[in-house]
Amino acid sequence: MSEETKYEGHFAVEGGNFRNAGQVSSRIKNILKDLGCDNDIVRRAAIVTYEAEINIVSYARKGLIHLNAKPDRVRIEISDEGPGIADIELAMQEGYSTASPIVREMGFGAGMGLANMKRFSDNFNITSKVNEGTRVVMQIDQVR
Amino acid sequence: MNLEKIAESLKLSVRCGANNLKREVTGGFVGDLLSDVIANSQEGNIWITRQIHQNIVAVASLKDIAAIVLVQGSEPAAETIARAEQEGIPLLVTALPGFEVAGRIYKMLNP
């Protein structure tokens, strides 16, 4: 496989900025399409990146989405500076959310974000430190 | 079934994206929770919602949604129209309630 069929880069996401929410996911989706990734891999990478992006916008001060991709393997690493998650097991439960009423009114904060990230990735790892931030690493490499 | 036929039959008003109404509709999705739409809608779906803010366009674009239908008299925010125009996503509106819109579109797609 040639060098051109690989991509590595990172994208900054600003906390609280709902106006631009989704732009990084959209860029990543296009990058993966151009790389020649399978449609199912592109679709799931777009879903998990969107959820990660919305989480940064909703909760963190800022975050970074790091993409490392080949046509048959996409690795997405998210690290943010923010409040962190005290109880990860609880946060992973579908329906559990600490989102503000305003965020919920917009249709975010349904408590599905982390669960979706796990469900649509083939490998999912989350670590967090309260008052520091959260790190999520996801890999998508199986066509479902 | 393309969007144009659905829009005509239900008398949906086109707020933007009039050039993209020839697109085939693969099915529909109803929902106001964006995580639900992101996870469960399919490419080419027509999306029925009450949300009017610009983030619906990002969701629709990411999932290759054919069109967004705002029901029960909802009107898109100005920046939502601008963003949808940019992304080429048709925004349709109607005074009809979501239940009726979903039912009628379902019938058209599954005669």
The ipTM assigned to this model is 0.90
Average pLDDT, chain B: 97
Tell me the CB-side half-sphere exposure of residue B61, using CA atoms within 13 A: 25
Residues of A in contact with B34 (CB under 8 A): 54, 106-108, 110
Q: For position B108, what pLDDT does the model report?
A: 97
Distance, in angstroms, between A53 CA and closest chain B CA? 12
Query: So what's the architecture of B3-109 in CATH?
Result: 3-Layer(aba) Sandwich (3.40)
* Residues recorded for chain B: 111
The per-residue pLDDT for range A27-48, each reduced to its tens digit, is 999 999 999 999 999 999 999 9
Q: Mark yes or no for CB contact B55/A18 under 8 Å.
A: yes
To the nearest whole Å, the CA of A86 is away from the closest chain B CA by 22
pTM, to two decimals: 0.94
Q: What confidence category does residue A5 fall into, taking pLDDT thresholds of 50, 70 and 90?
A: confident
Among residues 32-61 of chain A, which lie with CB inside 8 Å of chain B? 43, 46-47, 50-51, 54
Contacts of B43 in chain A (CB under 8 A): 43
pLDDT tens sequence across A66-121? 999 999 999 999 999 999 999 999 999 999 999 999 999 999 999 999 999 999 99
- Distance from the A14 Cα atom to the nearest Cα atom in chain B, whole angstroms: 15
The answer to whether residue A120 neighbours chain B at the CB level (below 8 Å) is yes
- pLDDT score of A4: 61
Predicted local distance difference test score (pLDDT) of residue B88: 96
DSSP of A40-109: HHHHHHHHHHHHHHHHHHHH-SEEEEEEEEETTEEEEEEEEESS--S-HHHHHSTT-----HHHHHTT--
Contact state of A110 with B53 under an 8 Å Cβ cutoff: no
A133-140 and A123-129 strand pairing: antiparallel
CB-CB under 8 Å, B35 with A116? yes
pLDDT surpasses 70 at A1: no
Cβ distance A21 to B58 less than 8 Å, yes or no, reads: yes
B22-74 residue pLDDT tens: 999 999 999 999 999 999 999 999 999 999 999 999 999 999 999 999 999 99
Instruction: Tell me which chain B residues have a C-beta less than 8 angstroms from the C-beta of A110.
Output: 33-36
Interatomic CA distance for residues A104 and B33, integer angstroms: 9
Token couple for B104: 């009628």
Q: Where are the domains of chain B?
A: 3-109
Interface test with chain B among A43, A49, A53, by most B beta carbons within 10 Å: A43
- Please tell us whether the domain made up of A3-140 is placed in CATH 3.30.565.10: yes
Whether the per-residue pLDDT at A3 is higher than 70: the answer is no
Token pair listed for A83: 């409040």
DSSP state of B28: E
Quote the radius of gyration of chain B (alpha carbons, Å).
12
Q: Does B51 touch chain A (CB under 8 A)?
A: yes
